[in-house]
Amino acid sequence: MTNQESGAGNFSIVPQADPVPAPDVETRLKELVLDSKDVAGFLTDLALIAAARLSSPGNRIHCGVTVMRRKRPEAVASNDAAARALDELQNGYKDGPCLTALRNRTTLLVPDLAAERRWAHYTKAAQENGVSSILAVPLDLAGEAEAVMNLYSGCSNGFTDEDISTAEAFASQAATSLRLVLRIAQLSEARNDMAVAMQSRTVIDMAIGAIMAENRCSRDTAFKILTKASSTRNIKLRDVAATVIASISGENQIDTYFDE
């Protein structure tokens, strides 16, 4: 019995020593996709995992994620305030290693900021914040969105070749999960927009009917009356419609049954 136990113990040590931790990350990412409430929450978890994996005693790594939103870079997630500040700093300058990596869709390493000649303003500001090396790894999202994982170290040459391949492997796994998260988010946003539209349309249609009855006019004319009232008073069409209904019947709450 004891022999067997020690045998099993020895056996389980072998895969742990194996330098391929991929299945572990894969499972973790799947859980994150299911647990995340929104895209920003998911990206924050990604940043936390990346920073924890690449940090070593004496070389703490900060991780931020920048996403292109409406053609503008936005710092959406980070493992700590320092990373977020650095991302925002770079987005403020509209240029830097991470934005360059994002544009070129390739990993970019700045081994020593003191020796870097590009992005002069940003590198100076980043150095003042205690950063010495930067690794930027873009996430390949197959054209659905653009995102880059930004890693900052306080040490010059803070990223080894092994760190770079670890970061790249993680980024490619994370990208697949992120695409799923984005798709789920888009679908639920579309669903919410549709539910809002159904509510609004009911109120507006009802008001149109009321105006038609009061003015003995066509639907088109009723629509024109309503839209004119909306634009001259600068009130949303839906709110004008609600006022019309309230003035007739005193009802303030018009609900649409919408099956979830």
Partner 1 sequence: MYPYGADGPEGSDFAAEVRRGTAERFRKTDLPLAKLWTYYYGLGGGIDEMSLDAYLHEALDIPSGQVALIAMAMTELIEGETL
Burial of 114 (0-12, 13-18, 19+ CB in 10 A): exposed
Distance, in Å, from the CA atom of 99 to the CA atom of 46, rounded to the nearest integer, reads 19
User: In this structure, which amino acid lies at residue 60?
Assistant: R
CA proximity to 136, closest of 110, 158, 115, 118: 110
Identify which of residues 82 and 237 has a Cβ nearer to partner 1 in the complex.
237
Among 151, 204, 210, 211, binds partner 1 (CB under 8 A): 204
Residue numbers 59-78 binding partner 1 by CB under 8 A: 70-71
What values do phi and psi take at 26, rounded to 5? -55, -50
Contact 57, 174 (CB under 8 A): no
Among 52, 120, 190, 213, binds partner 1 (CB under 8 A): 190
Distance, in Å, from the CA atom of 134 to the CA atom of 114, rounded to the nearest integer, reads 12
Question: Which segment (30-38, 43-51, 89-97, 222-230) binds partner 1 by CB under 8 A?
Answer: 222-230
Annotate each residue in 228-247 with x if it binds partner 1 (CB under 8 A) or - if it does not, as one string: --xx----xxx---------
Closest separation between CB of residue 194 and partner 1, Å?
6
Among 47, 67, 208, 244, binds partner 1 (CB under 8 A): 208
Instruction: Summarize as ranges the residues that interact with partner 1 (CB under 8 A).
Output: 70-71, 190, 193-194, 196-201, 204-205, 208, 220, 223-224, 227, 230-231, 236-238
